[in-house]
Amino acid sequence: MNVRCTLAFLLLLAPSAYSQTGGYSPPIRIATPITGRCINMKTDEVTVTLRRILTQKNGNFLFHDKTAGITVMSTLNATSDETAKTPSVNQVDIQKEKTGQVSLALEYAIADLLLLNQDPKHVTKNIQLDLFMAKTVATGGFGTVIDIASQVFSKMPIPANPYTTTAGKFLQFANQTIQAQTGPKTAMQFASLTLPFNDRDEDAAGCVRDGFQPTGAVAVFRDTGAANTPLLPTKDLNAKYCFRYTSQYTYELQFVSQPAGGCANIPENAWHEVPNDYVMCILNAQKAPLTANKTLSGMSADEKQQWNRQRQIDIDQSRALCKSMRLPARSCGVK
């Protein structure tokens, strides 16, 4: 197989190349112990960490019955209508897992301290994440695609300057190989979520109300899950249920039907483990270093001091979020 063509295909990974079965929810907000704040496209650098994928080991999504092939395609959309795509292709060892619902050991930063405001032309207004799972295939074809690409793109974060990468050179001939390499029966879109960013600072409640993404945690639920267990519907979840992530004894998402008074002060014994398959991401943001953004060079000394003070508050909040979820601080963008 032509390796160059294989890499080109993985760089594209357009949804049209996959079986679009749907079967997943819109992004769901997950309560965390640390109060979030709105992510500001003009001032922030963001870290988006893939925390957990819960899925089925049932023979449909295995490669040689030993590994699960996962692809994350990150698409950045700028206010100038420019886009930038970054693939990340991984294989997860699941040969010791029993058949049924399994948690994939895949945890890494999709965006790692990514500066949203690169320059006036490249201000990222949203990031779209599309997750694909390879179906069972024999050696060769798409199996070889996953094998090669996972070595090149494994756990690769979005580049520091994504709009000026050379990915376009591969994309020029990807269309020539895509039909030969794969088809609608080779992969399934596991989830898709878009993270829209505000153009100003705002608290978490106002951010959600205005349709933007605050820091914290989000998940996408599938319409598949644990056997012999009623699954949650994939519509109107934020309106009907309360959700939280617990790491006190086990690492799991929990839910409860939303009481009339809202999601505060719910008894511990009311919470239940989410039965659906899902993917969850952790989001953090902090004011970018003043040296990283040329548009901030005209600030006064007092404004710079205030900026740096807020940056330190953001870093402390990010560190606290990771600590509360029993994650290393680096997963929340804290060096």
Structure confidence by residue, pLDDT tens digits, 244-286: 988 776 678 999 999 998 898 899 999 999 999 999 999 999 9
pLDDT of residue 19: 36
- What are 167-176's pLDDT values in tens digits? 444 433 333 3
Q: Let me know: does 264 contact 250? Beta carbons within 8 Å.
A: no
Look up residue 134 and give its two tokens. Answer: 């390879």
pLDDT 10s digits, 185-225? 666 788 999 999 999 999 999 999 999 999 999 999 999 89
The answer on pLDDT for 242 being more than 50 is: yes
Hey, where are the domains in the chain?
Answer: 3-332
Which amino acid appears at position 74 of this protein? S
Check residue 85 and give its pLDDT: 81
DSSP per position, 275-334: -EEEEEEEEEEEEPPGGG-GGGTT--HHHHHHHHHHHHHHHHHHHHHHHHTT--GGGGT-
State the average pLDDT for the chain: 80
Tokens standing for residue 201: 């600072």
The C-alpha atoms of residue 190 and residue 133 are separated, in whole angstroms, by 6
The answer to whether the beta carbons of residues 282 and 317 sit under 8 Å apart is no
- Tokens (6 digits) for 104: 């994939």
- State residue 52's pLDDT score: 86
187/163 Cα distance (integer angstroms): 27
Least confident range from 9-23, 121-135, 252-266, 288-302: namely 9-23
- Burial of 123-157, coded b for 16+ CB within 10 Å and e otherwise, reads bbbbbbbbbbbbbebeeeebbebbbbbbeebeebb
Torsion of CA 107, 113, 116, 121, to 10 degrees: -110
Walk across the sheet containing 241-246 and list its strands. 241-246, 252-257, 272-273
**pLDDT band at 80, cuts 50/70/90?**
very high
pTM: 0.84
DSSP helix/strand/coil, 173 = helix
Q: Are 163 and 84 in contact (CB under 8 A)?
A: yes
The answer to whether residues 321 and 282 touch, using CB atoms and an 8 Å cutoff, is: yes
Cα 247 to the center of its chain, rounded Å: 19
CA distance 62 to 222: 18
**Euclidean distance between CA atoms 17 and 14, whole angstroms:** 6
Residue 250 is encoded by which pair of tokens?
A: 């086990």
